[in-house]
Chain A
Amino acid sequence: MRLTFKTALVAATALGLAAFAGVKVAEAAGGGDAKYKKQVEWGFNGFTGKYDRHAMQRGYQVYQEVCSSCHQLKFMSFRHLGDKGGPFYDKKYPNPIDNPVVKYIAKNYPVPIQDIDWDTGEDLPRDGKPVDKFPSPYPNSVAAAAANFGKAPPDLSVMAKARPDGANHIYSFLLGYDKDDNMYNKFLGTKVAMPDQLFDGKVDYEVIKVQNKDGSVKEIQPPEATREQMAKDVTEFLMWTADPKMEARKSLGLSVMIYLLILAGLLFFAYREVWRNVKH
């Protein structure tokens, strides 16, 4: 038993170190000037991390009012906003295409859906529906690049995963602009094609209305729309768009880990019973 335990211990330690090193290397390799890197205690980090629904809702508002005029969420549909775990999920509408908030957002999205007239084949912009993908503000990538100093604004669907330590990266980037030069980002240490977007009060946060069980409506006052607040909220939203199933994954993970621990324990006892009379 002594030797076995030692083996297991050595293996576990080695693995732990390897895993830790892997994570650290991956983080350190990411772009950005460490001096201007901001670390936020995100609620979605950690083993039981969860997204902040209200922050996501505000973040969506920032995305729609600020980001969406140049960027796209091309792997997302409006209906995803009403998915379980999403910012506008409502228990009453398990199927998000029936969710009135989602319907409203789709219909009033600032960029129309490019459809065709099904009788004539001509272009026919129309209002969005929950099943539609988030539309691109540009007809094609060439137009997108032409309108933005030669570089098409990147898609934001998985942006929070496309950078090492993505959430802090986005947050640091959005707040990393030089005071005197709104095209220079200190965090990235370079001029960027996107000028500084956020200033205090740019977005007028909506009051969030929550229906109580007795039918009365509780109003939740939003925080002040400072630069930091908006950057934080839109980061929360973009983290969700990049990893929408994170909550489901982590909660299933807990059950799976507990299950595997129990099974490992039982198998270990079974192993001891089988080998009881065998010296090895």
Chain B
Amino acid sequence: MSDTEHSHDHVDEEKRDFIYIAAGAVAAVGAGAIGWPLVTQMSMAADTKAAGSIEIDLSNIDEGSQVKSLWRGKPVFVRHRTPEEIAEAEAVDVATLPDPATDNERLMPNKAGKLDPRFLVMVGVCTHFGCVPIGEQGKVDALGEYGGWYCPCHGSHYDTAGRIRKGPAPENLVIPPYEFISDTVIKVG
């Protein structure tokens, strides 16, 4: 022991408190710092983040039919709409909709910078609780009351532009980020 008799009587309280507080504070900072990697490891890994885009060839989709592709673990619907369906979607009074959007607002311009109303691209996930709505042409009961999509889980009805018209879903079916990379091929994500 290097402590002398002298130190028994004389304790520098200020110095002692400083050391205690400093040691505690530095330890707390370290504990916080180690927490960060332990928490953030659960966020998306680089490979998951990178594998986030798919290409879809529109020329293979016949009028009146729809293809479903998997994008980021969710279905993407591409429907080649009939002229009647387009007309129906455009005729709606936007102001009456729960989530107002015109049909054109739900389309992306092609290579020529024009909107092609025939192809509607949407994430096929109901905005209520995430089920996949059904909407196969030719099966009338599957289209819901508005001729578009119908979610069987809790009964949400979407119209031919994928807008919510009736039921518990709060928003229109989501349009994913996509772009035309050629005249007929789109890249989603």
Whether the complex brings A and B within 8 Å at their CB atoms is answered yes
Chain A residues close to B by CB (< 8 Å): 1-2, 77, 79, 83, 95-97, 119, 130-131, 259-260, 262-263, 266-267, 269-270, 273, 276-277, 279-280
Closest 8 pairs (CB-CB, A-B): A266-B23, A270-B23, A131-B50, A273-B16, A269-B19, A1-B2, A131-B51, A263-B26
**Which residues of chain B from 4 to 20 have any CB-CB distance to chain A below 8 Å in the complex?**
7-8, 11, 15-16, 19-20
Chain A residues near B2: list those with CB within 8 A.
Answer: 1-2
CB pair A266–B22 under 8 Å, yes or no, is yes
A263-B50 contact in complex given A119-B60, A270-B19, A279-B1, C-beta closer than 8 Å: no
A-B contact pairs, 17 of them (CB 8 A): A1-B1, A1-B2, A2-B2, A95-B50, A131-B47, A259-B26, A263-B23, A266-B19, A266-B26, A267-B23, A267-B27, A270-B19, A273-B19, A276-B3, A276-B11, A277-B3, A277-B7
Chain A residues near B50: list those with CB within 8 A.
Answer: 77, 79, 95-97, 130-131
Interchain CA distance A133-B51 in the complex, whole Å: 11
Closest to A280 in B: B1
Chain B residues close to A by CB (< 8 Å): 1-3, 7-8, 11, 15-16, 19-20, 22-23, 26-27, 30, 33, 46-47, 49-51, 60
Chain A residues near B60: list those with CB within 8 A.
Answer: 119
Chain A residues near B26: list those with CB within 8 A.
Answer: 259, 262-263, 266
Closest to A263 in B: B26
Q: Determine the main DSSP class of B at the interface with A.
A: helix
CB distance from A249 to the nearest CB of B (A): 12
CB pair A273–B7 under 8 Å, yes or no, is no
**15 other contacts beyond A1-B1, A276-B3, A276-B8, with CB at 8 A cut-off?**
A79-B46, A83-B46, A95-B50, A97-B50, A131-B51, A259-B26, A260-B30, A262-B26, A263-B23, A263-B26, A267-B23, A269-B19, A269-B23, A277-B7, A279-B1
Closest to B60 in A: A119
Chain A residues near B11: list those with CB within 8 A.
Answer: 276-277
CB pair B23–A276 under 8 Å, yes or no, is no
Chain A residues near B7: list those with CB within 8 A.
Answer: 276-277
Interchain CA distance A163-B103 in the complex, whole Å: 62
CB pair A263–B51 under 8 Å, yes or no, is no
CB pair B8–A277 under 8 Å, yes or no, is yes
CB distance from A227 to the nearest CB of B (A): 35
Q: Which of A83, A119, A270 has the most CB of B within 10 A?
A: A270
Chain A residues near B30: list those with CB within 8 A.
Answer: 259-260, 263
Interchain CA distance A131-B19 in the complex, whole Å: 52
Chain A residues near B15: list those with CB within 8 A.
Answer: 273
CB distance from B70 to the nearest CB of A (A): 10
Closest to A4 in B: B1
Chain B residues near A280: list those with CB within 8 A.
Answer: 1
